[in-house]
Amino acid sequence: MSRLRSLVVFACALLVGGVFIVAGVLKSLDVEGFARDIALHKIIGPGLSAVAARVFVPFEIAVGAAAILGYRRRWALGLLGASLVLFIGATGWAWSQGNTEGCGCFGRFASRTPLSVIVEDALLLAACGIGIVLAPRGAQAGSGVPGASPSLETGPSRWRGVVVAGTLVAATAFSLASPHLPIDRFATALRPGVTLADLGLAQIAGNLDQGDRLLAILVLDEDPSRKAVEGLNGLAQTPGVPPISGLTSATEDKRAEFFFTYGSSFELLEVPSADLRRLYRRAPRVFRVHNGTVLRVWDTVPSAEELNR
């Protein structure tokens, strides 16, 4: 294979494989959130979505690594291309049903519209096609890296296979463990020191960036958020506790229904789903703000004593 052809194939594999690896790693930080994103497409139910998320995240990382390393590269690019076709079809279907939230392809770290997802995935699919057409057929013992030494290019491919297999095992283990790991600081944008402007919350209400505030992220149709109302109501009635506001992506009608059903004694403010989903893996999540800067974050409703520590 000519050097130019080799460079083009490697560039295509690096581009597509790199995107899949980055996307898979970011989703592995919040695999449950990715499962919810899949369920929003309304193609499969929540149960199958949870299974699909835990299978697909390691698959993305391992096959992306195989494409870059040159281990059965044509097969790897073919699998990535088939995944892109699936993404485009699922996104188009969800879009036609009124879902404008995008695909959750990069977890909570990037918000894309359905149109941008389809366009970007189509470009990646084209790169897959170019790589498949130009890549050598048959046994692929070479490293697939332009400029590699002759000993590397003619060496056995089993070591690359071992690396890919190890990547698959490690990615699977982390995806299964991540919901139970204390990694919210890395998996979300919400952490001490950031400002409401950084989080996209500066414009939702005029006084959130003035003085002390206690903000609670709530998902109104989930039991943990409903059960949190009692604790938040208790805090709201405790002397010395700053004003409390709930943040939710629910509509006005759903907020009113929640208020009358569960008796929340604090205001519920609507935040666009794309902005709110960057701030939590599980709700409720509570944080204290002083003059627009986050001071502390809790992954449950804190006690009055915890607030003042």
Residues 6+ apart with CB under 8 A from 270: 204, 248, 249, 250, 251, 252, 255
C-alpha distance from residue 290 to each of 196, 210, 242 (Å): 10, 7, 10
* CATH number of the CATH domain containing 258: 3.40.30.10
- Boundary of a domain, candidates 181, 199, 233: 181
Q: Is residue 10 domain-shared with residue 130, that is, in the same domain? A: yes
Do 164 and 204 belong to one domain? no
Instruction: Answer yes or no: do 48 and 72 share one domain.
Output: yes
Q: Which pLDDT belongs to residue 208?
A: 78
Number of C-beta neighbours around residue 239 at 10 A: 5
Which pLDDT score, from 0 to 100, does residue 108 have?
64
Residue 272 belongs to domain spanning = 186-307
- Which value, in Å, is the radius of gyration of the alpha carbons in the chain? 23
Residues 32 and 116 in one domain: yes
- 198-242: pLDDT as tens digits: 888 877 766 777 889 999 999 998 899 999 999 999 998 888 899
In the chain, the number of structural domains is: 2
Same domain, 49 and 93: yes
Kindly report the pTM of this predicted structure. Answer: 0.81
Both 62 and 160 in a single domain? yes
Pairing of strands 212-217, 244-248: parallel
Q: What's at 134, amino acid-wise?
A: L
- Domain-terminating residue out of 163, 181, 199: 181
Q: Which residues of the chain have pLDDT under 50?
A: 139-142, 147-155
158 and 84 share a domain?
yes
The candidate with the shortest Cα–Cα distance to 77, out of 140, 149, 31, 34, is 140
Same structural domain, 78 and 221: no
Strands 244-248 and 293-298: unpaired
User: What is the token pair recorded at 231?
Assistant: 């604790």
Domain end, chosen from 156, 181, 206, is at 181
52, 119: one domain: yes
Q: Are residues 297 and 200 in the same domain?
A: yes
